[in-house]
Amino acid sequence: MAVGKGWEGVVLKLMRGKDFTFTVTGAEDVTEHYRRVYFTDGGLLAAAGESLHPTMWVRVWFQGAGKPHQRAYTLVDPDPAAGTFCFEFALHDGVASDWARGAKAGDTIDATIQGTGFTAPTPSPERLLVIGDPASLPAINSLLDAFPQTPATIWFETQHAADAELPVRLDADRHDIRRVPRGGADLVDRVRAELPELVGDPESAYVWLACDTATTRTLTAYLRKELALPKQRVNGLGYWRAAA
């Protein structure tokens, strides 16, 4: 369903954002707290062309309380030839999760592409150091797919028991996942205790992190200031804000 985009939509249009309408082709519950919705892309992937990249996200528009709300979601398994992809929703209270819970074949939703980007680290890292949670799982999986031969250590914050069933694309020979129950500063403490021994040369290390905004900010400062990783070797993005 098309919705007005308010002042945010006007700003994105001025910044040359491109609008598309996606159509739902199906949906499934991966766990009780995680839902996958399938789409045709409305021409997005053809328009993206060679700019299609790992961790690519688009701004999606949802209607709530009579006004538009913009949320960002990562493209999962985009197929330019077929013009299809899916979104994966870590379900909670909110307009996006409410929409995802009821999504069915034939529903439509508007999206804008503007602001996404990814620069592959040069030199290539000997090991990916990844920090995230269910909200950033689609981006984590796309990153692992983009570096299929590179070992990775993943600190993955969990909230629900069912999060153990989430589809992290692990290769047992190359990937080490360290699940961290959410609560207090547990994730920060674990990363501080365990990551330094894996960094090696800061000039060739690579850390990708996407957690809640406060955690991302804290860990990014730690990596840059205390471990002396160069700016281009740390890719940090706050994916969501914890409720007050």
Same domain (yes/no): 134, 108: no
Residue 41 lies in a domain: yes
| 198-207: average pLDDT | 90
CATH number for position 164: 3.40.50.80
Q: Say whether pLDDT at 231 is over 60.
A: yes
Q: Say whether pLDDT at 123 is over 90.
A: no
| CB burial readout 208-235, b (16+ within 10 A) else e | bbbbbeebbebbbebbbeebebeeebbb
pLDDT for position 16: 53
- The encoded tokens of residue 186 equal 């547990």
Residue 1 lies in a domain: no
pLDDT for position 30: 97
Which of 128, 133, 132, 211 is closest to 171 using CA atoms?
Answer: 128
Same domain (yes/no): 11, 85: yes
Residue 219 sits in which domain range? 128-236
pLDDT for position 11: 41
pLDDT for position 8: 52
Same domain (yes/no): 161, 134: yes
Same domain (yes/no): 109, 196: no
Residue 244 lies in a domain: no
* Domain final residue pick, 83, 113, 143: 113
Residue 92 lies in a domain: yes
* Domain final residue pick, 80, 113, 146: 113
| 61-72: average pLDDT | 90
CATH number for position 39: 2.40.30.10
Which of 25, 26, 22, 30 is closest to 62 using CA atoms?
Answer: 22
What is the residue-averaged pLDDT of the chain? 89
Instruction: Show Cβ contacts of residue 133 under 8 Å, excluding neighbours closer than 6 positions.
Output: 90, 156, 157, 158, 159, 182, 211, 212, 239
> How far, CA to CA in Å, does 231 sit from each of 17, 35, 61, 205, 208?
27, 34, 32, 11, 12
Same domain (yes/no): 106, 170: no
Instruction: Tell me the per-residue pLDDT of 136-194, one tens digit each, with 9 for 90 and over.
Output: 999 999 999 999 999 999 999 999 999 999 999 999 999 999 999 987 669 999 999 99
pLDDT for position 37: 98
Other beta carbons within 10 Å of 12: 19
Same domain (yes/no): 107, 154: no
pLDDT for position 244: 46
Instruction: With cut-offs at 50, 70 and 90, classify the pLDDT of residue 83.
Output: very high
pLDDT for position 79: 96
Instruction: With cut-offs at 50, 70 and 90, classify the pLDDT of residue 242.
Output: low
Return d(Cα 42, Cα 127) in angstroms, integer: 37
* Domain final residue pick, 65, 83, 113: 113
Domain count along the chain: 2
Q: Say whether pLDDT at 84 is over 60.
A: yes
Residue 76 lies in a domain: yes
> How far, CA to CA in Å, does 139 sit from each of 72, 88, 190?
12, 10, 21
- 82 burial via Cβ count (<10 Å: 0-12, 13-18, 19+): exposed
Same domain (yes/no): 137, 227: yes
Same domain (yes/no): 68, 145: no
Q: Say whether pLDDT at 202 is over 90.
A: no
Mean pLDDT lowest among 7-21, 77-91, 97-111, 214-228:
7-21
| 195-221: average pLDDT | 93
Same domain (yes/no): 159, 98: no
Same domain (yes/no): 53, 138: no
Return d(Cα 44, Cα 56) in angstroms, integer: 12
- Global pTM exceeds 0.75: yes
